[in-house]
Amino acid sequence: MKGWLIAALLAAPLAAPLAAPLAAAAPAATAPAATAPAATAPRYSIEEIRLADSIGDSVAQMVIGAPPDQKIDDIYALWLIRGNGRIILFDSGFHRPRWFKEWTIRNYLRPDRAVALAGVKPETVTDIIVSHAHWDHMGGIDLFPRAMIWIQKEEYRYYTGPAWQPGGDHGGIDPEDVTELVRANTQGRVRWVDGDQEIFPGIHAYRGARHTYASQYLWIEGDPPFVLASDNVYLYRNLEEHKPSATFEPADYPANLAHQQHMIDLAGRMERVIPGHDALPFSRYPTQGRIATLRAP
């Protein structure tokens, strides 16, 4: 979640091979003209499920350039996308004990119990799209035993290999999550997303905002369209103040900002770009308990 910036500054290799081409090419290559909605895109409902509250976080670690002494209470969440015969999670939350000692986490509910509040049995989840490999997003993949896991190919490669070698950066990555990811792959339950790709009809993944080595965000077509940014945009403040989210390394700030604009273009309105840890959707959208309905069925 937060606080990887220092580790990244200390450990990030200077010559991350993806940084330059992505920063230069990704926003232009993913201009809205190239991703015009298909006339036949299925209808999906979109819900944000609050897993926990996060107390007293440093804004400056999420909104680069914010005053260093500001604190904010925010949230941990995952997103539930249903339609076209699929039950899809965007991110999977977390449950491993070590992280509860490192962060101030309140009102926690385990992800499999949280989705049950929306009437979803964990074993019926068909797919998990992982935005990035940090503990609070990939840490619940083992709670959904039949789901196919979709992750960027370069994210998989980096965090199962080079991240743990000298000079690698694995800040915020839980070794047990990586083990579960590799185990799922050996069971045939991992699919690599290769750059910008339509994963399901009307659900598009984009790489290049670089919260981690190869993080991804989603554009979900429809009326209205939404972008699920995950931590490629931590808070609405990033969008409102044109400030980068924390990125793999500082050289990625310009690409992150370019992708933020791309997200707004895809969603049509800033309010429909959903940040990774902002509590505001639970007051902006119809909310019952832990569940905000961004788009009804």
Taking the least distance from each CB to Zn ion, the nearer of 136 and 174 is 136
* Amino acid letter, 266: L
Question: How near is the Cβ of 159 to Zn ion at its closest, in Å?
Answer: 15
Q: 240-260 burial, b for 16+ CB within 10 Å, e for fewer?
A: eeebbbbbbbeebbebbbbbb
Q: Which two tokens stand for residue 15?
A: 């010559």
Rounded to whole angstroms, the Cα distance separating 236 from 227 reads: 13
Site stretch for Zn ion (CB under 5 A), options 27-35, 59-67, 135-143, 199-207: 135-143
Q: Which is nearer to Zn ion, 1 or 184 (CB)?
A: 1
With CA atoms as reference, report the closest residue to 135 among 175, 182, 97, 173.
Answer: 173
Site string for Zn ion, 157-196 (x = CB under 5 A): ----------------------------------------
Q: Which is nearer to Zn ion, 91 or 221 (CB)?
A: 91
The CA-CA-CA angle for residues 290, 58, 134, to 5°, reads 65
Minimum distance, C-beta of residue 264 to Zn ion, in the bound complex (Å) = 21
Nearer to Zn ion, 231 or 249 (CB): 231
Contact flag: residue 136 with Zn ion (CB under 5 A): yes
- Listed in order, strand segments (DSSP E) in the chain are 45-58, 71-83, 86-90, 105-106, 127-129, 148-152, 190-193, 197-200, 203-207, 216-220, 226-230, 273-275, 287-288, 291-295
CB of 187 to Zn ion, least distance (A): 26
* One-letter amino acid of 182: V
Query: Applying CB under 5 A, does 266 fall inside the site for Zn ion?
Result: no
72 binds Zn ion (CB under 5 A): no
Strand partners, 88: 81, 127
How many binding residues for Zn ion (CB under 5 A)?
3
292 belongs to the binding site for Zn ion (CB under 5 A): no
Identity of the residue, 41 or 62, whose beta carbon is nearer to Zn ion in the bound complex: 62
Q: What's the burial of 39, exposed, middle or buried (CB within 10 Å: 0-12/13-18/19+)?
A: exposed
| Contact code string over 219-238 relative to Zn ion, x by CB under 5 A | ------------x-------
| Strand, helix or coil for residue 218 | strand
C-beta of 166: minimal distance to Zn ion in Å?
26
Residues found near Zn ion in the complex (CB under 5 A): 1, 136, 231
